[in-house]
Amino acid sequence: MAPSLTKDTPGNPGKTFLGHPRGLATLFMTEMWERFSFYGLRALLVVYLVAGGPDAGEGGAGHQGGGLAMTLATATAIYSVYNATVYLLTMPGGWFGDRVWGPRKTVAVGAGIIMVGHLTLALPGQASFFIGLALVATGSGLLKANISKMVGDLYNGPEDPRRDGGFTVFYMGINTGSFLAPFVIGTVGQTVNWHLGFALAAVGMGLGLVQFLLGSRHLDERSSQVPSPITAQERSTVLRKSLMWLIVAVVFYGIVVGTGHFTLNWAMVPLTVLGLVIPVGMLVRIKRDKELTTADQGRMTGYIWFFVAAAIFWMIYDQGASTVQAFGDAKTSTQIFGWSFPSTWFQSINPLFIILLAPLFASLWLALARRAKEPSTTAKFGFALVVTGLSFFVFMIPMSTAADGTKVTPMWLVLIFLMHTIAELCLSPVGLSVTTKLAPAKYGSQLMGVWFLAVTAGDSVTGLLSIGGANLSTTGMVGMEAALAALAGVAVFMYRKKITSTMDEVK
């Protein structure tokens, strides 16, 4: 996408990018390459884990064997726990941005760790695979909360009319990388060599890091500042407690491994439990902070509603790369007019719709705002949840059709991902924006980390269900999730006035 360079507003002089501050272009490109690497891995992950096992599909053109030959239940659990951990680590990532390095430096460090993680995934062996996943999750946690915070810093406060549109443009950067990744990383990994695909993800993140370092001069000066620097006493306390917990973990898992009792569940169950406990704990801690003003307390009350709604949304949405992708790989035709394609290409459908529809939604919000008719944030969230629920009701139709071994048309997956996209555009970029609006100054980057913990909470529920033996690929489970999302959406819409009444001037 070529930048449109025009003069900016008087309050923010200089060149602009599509009518927004020039720094948005730098962040757009950085996030595009980070998402290229992340979604390339996402497209391959479940397919790679089940390849060679009983739940593997034919997978389209040139599908290779290998992989880790796991069952779909185990693969879904690993995917869910990995995805939950990525967003769980946005919390310490936000803390580093707020207290230690500042957002700009934290993003650079995170990008470097992500690149190393993908290079580790490119090495053969199960041990290097899980180490690589851990590194990618760590780097992503450092990068994500802080880069979104820097987008918010580009604008003149919460009431800047370009703000929601800016986050939507930024979201297009995310989805440009997401769209390209399955065609490049997914195709090479699935049809040529799994580990070569992982290596291409490292190349993408390397390009993103270089671009960020070169373009960081266009960012707002607040991005280089540490909002609340950690004191020497606090640093000593944090190091002491971190070392203590590290020793406890090493000793505990050393005993488990040494006695021959270790299984993947010893790692996955604690992570999924933490994925539910930590978000609740963080929201309670912020809400009870006596230094916050009455207005900040009210905004946090309203924010909790948005958090719960987002967690339910992500619980279903993220199964697009696990439950839905596995269905696409094993039970969906991957041929069009006799031409076969890799099943990982299904992961490009959602970002393609985002690219096509995001400008329309951004223009729609601005047009409605000028006429004082823009739906409230709560109305957008409620609508998103209802559409998400309906998408899984739709999913039940091809699942039933394929029960006798029939391969269904890929158009069912196109419809499901279209519905996910419509819901996502009403919730995710709007949620990023409302987080920066509602965040108390003391918790700028940290509350953005809390927003990403909604993904952690949703994926942790999916992970716990898979670990507990629930089969998420049955019409019964899919129907239950669909009903939960739809009912939650109706509840948010019914209580929208009560929710917005707690948020002072932010609607």
pLDDT tens across 210-254, in order?
Answer: 999 998 888 888 888 888 889 889 989 999 999 999 999 999 999
Q: Using 50, 70 and 90 to split pLDDT, how confident is the model at 8?
A: very low
Q: How many degrees, rounded to 5, is the angle at CA 6 between CA 5 and CA 8?
A: 120
Q: Count CB neighbours of 381 within 10 A.
A: 29
With a CB cutoff of 8 Å and minimum separation 6, the contacts of 44 are: 185, 186, 189, 190, 194, 197, 198, 344
Q: Which of 201, 26, 213 is nearest to 114 (CA)?
A: 201
Q: How far is CA 138 from CA 28, 87, 141, 153, 461, in A?
A: 21, 9, 5, 24, 21
Query: How many domains, in total, are found in the chain?
Result: 1
Q: Using 50, 70 and 90 to split pLDDT, how confident is the model at 58?
A: low
Expressed as residue numbers, the domain containing 205 is: 16-501
Kindly state whether residue 172 falls inside one of the protein's structural domains: yes
Kindly state whether residue 280 falls inside one of the protein's structural domains: yes
Q: Rounded to whole angstroms, how far apart are CA atoms 67 and 300? A: 45
Q: Using 50, 70 and 90 to split pLDDT, how confident is the model at 139?
A: very high
Q: Count CB neighbours of 483 within 10 A.
A: 13
Q: Using 50, 70 and 90 to split pLDDT, how confident is the model at 290?
A: confident
Kindly state whether residue 9 falls inside one of the protein's structural domains: no
Kindly state whether residue 11 falls inside one of the protein's structural domains: no
Kindly state whether residue 394 falls inside one of the protein's structural domains: yes
Kindly state whether residue 124 falls inside one of the protein's structural domains: yes
Work out the average pLDDT over 370-398.
Answer: 92
| Encoded amino acid at 297, one letter | Q
Work out the average pLDDT over 461-475.
Answer: 92
Per-residue model confidence as pLDDT tens digits over 310-356: 999 999 999 999 999 999 999 999 988 888 899 999 999 998 998 88
Kindly state whether residue 262 falls inside one of the protein's structural domains: yes
The answer to whether residue 62 scores a pLDDT higher than 60 is: no
Q: Which of 63, 116, 89, 90 is nearest to 343 (CA)?
A: 63
Identify the pLDDT of residue 360.
Answer: 87
The position carrying tokens 């990383």 is: 185
Q: How far is CA 50 from CA 57, 239, 319, in A?
A: 9, 40, 16
Percent of the chain scoring above 70 in pLDDT: 92
CB 301 within 8 A of CB 25: no
Task: Give the domain CATH number at 458.
Answer: 1.20.1250.20
Mean pLDDT rounded to a whole number for the chain: 87
Q: How far apart are the first and last CA of the chain?
A: 32
Identify the pLDDT of residue 158.
Answer: 64
Task: Average the pLDDT over each of 50-59, 168-177, 184-193 and give the range with the smallest value.
Answer: 50-59
Q: Which of 52, 94, 77 is nearest to 194 (CA)?
A: 52
Kindly state whether residue 220 falls inside one of the protein's structural domains: yes
Task: Average the pLDDT over each of 218-227, 262-271, 328-337, 389-398 and give the range with the smallest value.
Answer: 218-227
| CA-based max dimension of the chain | 68
